[in-house]
Amino acid sequence: MGRINEHFIVVLIADVSEAIRFSQVRDSFITNVSEQLLGPTDALAKLADSLEAGNLDERQVMDDARQVKSSCSKLNHMVSDLLLL
C-alpha cells in the first residue's frame, strides 16, 4: 500500500487462490501416489523376508514368486502412468 497524496492511497491486491489450489492438489497427488507405491513395495519386502528365512516348500516358493511378479507389475503400471503425466 502506498500513499499518492493526502487524499489517495494505492492498494495492490494479488489473487493467490490459484497458487493455493495448485499446492493443495499437488500435495494430495503426492500423498496418493506415495500410498499407492507403498503397497507393492511393502509386499515385496515381506516376500523377500519370507524367502530369506528359508524353510519354504516348493509350493510356497512358487506362490511367493507369483506375488513378486504381481507386485512388480503393479509398480510398473503405476510408474508408467506417472511418466505419462
Q: b/e per residue, 44-70, with b = 16+ CB within 10 A?
A: beebeebeeeeeeeeeeeeebeebbee
> What's the CATH number where 49 sits?
1.10.287.130
Q: How many domains does the chain fold into?
A: 1
Q: What is the pLDDT of residues 57-76, one digit of tens each?
A: 889 888 888 988 988 898 89
Rounded distance between C-alpha atoms, residue 43 and residue 73, angstroms: 12
What pLDDT does 1 receive?
A: 65
Give 15-61 pLDDT, tens digit per residue: 999 999 999 999 999 998 888 888 888 888 988 888 888 878 889 88
pLDDT of residue 28: 92
Q: Give me the torsion for CA of 68, 71, 73, 79, rounded to 10°.
A: -140
Q: Which residue range is the domain that position 69 belongs to?
A: 2-84
The answer, as to whether pTM is greater than 0.95, is no
